[in-house]
Amino acid sequence: MSIDKKPILIGIAGGSASGKTSIAQILVDEFKDTNSVIIIREDDYYKEQPNTTYEQRAKTNYDHPFAFDYELLYAQLNDLINGKSIEKPTYDYTIHNRSDKTEIVNPADVIIVEGLFVLQNQMMRDMLDIKVFVDTDADIRFIRRLKRDTTERARSMESVMDQYLTTVKPMHDQFCEPSKVYAHIIIPEGKTNVVAIDLLKTKINSVLN
């Protein structure tokens, strides 16, 4: 990263399993030889829940903005903007809690911040140079989430369906979907929208060069 150039922050928001993580990873992979693009995932900043049982944590509403530690996220993004490395938390979905492991992240010319409420949170929104919303049909998002959570996150089908109906969908309708109005770019259908992704690649390339 050039020490005399402020990094560009790209926010990618969207509903659960909309494809925002996949798009962010495609962009990082495109420029992996330069190490100029990094991802900061909002999910890694779920609040710690010390002294709670697994059963108690399983009942937490993880689809509400209050579930996230935005003060830490905001502080660490500012450190990256100012050319400082950070020790980023990581989240373990299988235990519904922050992991003991952390990750050292170095500054970069382009910082992609992806998560449910990247555009909903004004503090976050004001930091972003480019705001993206991934707009994928609810049925497709549910099917993707069901497959992901049962195969990758040790969840039962019943628990995924119950969570979707009780928190995921209501919180999406209340907080996530309305934040679409703040987006500069709306990408339908996630990573399959190669035209929109190519436009983002072109924009990032222009920043790097």
| Domain coordinates in residue numbering, the chain | 8-208
Confidence of residue 94 (pLDDT cuts 50, 70, 90): confident
Of the pLDDT bands very low, low, confident and very high (cuts 50, 70, 90), residue 75 is: very high
Query: Could you give the 3-state DSSP secondary structure of residue 133?
Result: strand
pLDDT at 153: 84
Q: Kindly state the average pLDDT of the residues 133-137.
A: 95
| pLDDT band for position 63 (cuts 50, 70, 90) | very high
CA distance 117 to 74: 13
Tokens of 124: 């976050």
The SS3 assignment for 15 reads coil
CATH for 8-208?
3.40.50.300
If you average pLDDT over residues 96-117, what whole number do you get? 96
**Is residue 154's pLDDT more than 90?**
no
Q: Quick one: pLDDT at residue 101? A: 95
The reported pLDDT for the residue numbered 58 is: 84
Tokens of 6: 């402020």
pLDDT greater than 90 at residue 199: yes
Q: Is the pTM above the cut of 0.85?
A: yes
Looking at residue 172, its pLDDT comes to: 96
28 pLDDT tier (thresholds 50, 70, 90): very high
pLDDT given for residue 141 in this prediction: 93
Count other C-beta atoms under 10 Å from residue 135's C-beta.
19
Please spell the DSSP secondary structure of 86-128, one letter per residue: EEEEEEETTTTEEEEEEEEE---SEEEEESTTTTT-HHHHTT-
Tell me, what's the pLDDT at 189?
Answer: 82
